[in-house]
Structure 1
Amino acid sequence: MTGFVNIGFGNIVNATRIVAMISPDSAPVKRLVQSAKDTGMAIDATQGRRTRAVLVMDDGHILLSALLPETISSRWESHSGVGIAEN
């Protein structure tokens, strides 16, 4: 199944390529983001705002979004009709 999800400010991503949506607050995630920036694998879609979600893509790219992971997830669910597993 293919589908796109809005990650904020008119930026859209192929939802089937997202491996994980995580909060940027922990030290390991901050190191992951810095490493991706250093290697040119980070895509900043925050428009200068605070990063609230880090999306890990299946090709190793890291996307930074100003929307919360819950917001992105609910946008994808409402447009695709597919639920995302929660624990």
Structure 2
Amino acid sequence: MEILQDTKNPLLKRKEIKFSIKTETNPGIQGCMEKVVEKFKVPEEHVVVRSVKNNFGSQEFVCEVFIYDSKEDKEKIEPKQKVKKKGAKK
């Protein structure tokens, strides 16, 4: 895991991190979250994975992650996930 960018955003009470992972398969959101929790020793509920990207054919994935100071700060700022209701029309 190589950290490419690490900035503190005091206005939104979060740390914004961009890092790269070299692996043969896509680590996905959960894989990136596990790496961040392990490296920075923060609770999983404070972490938001914004994106996981790579170039075609490359084994290097770039993850963009936000680490909030508290769970309450995360809930105030991050958009709520839309829940698809059963039987809802498209």
Q: TM-score, normalised by structure 1?
A: 0.27
Q: TM-score, normalised by structure 2?
A: 0.27
**Bigger CA radius of gyration:** 2
Q: Which has the higher strand share?
A: 2
Q: Which has the higher helix share?
A: 1
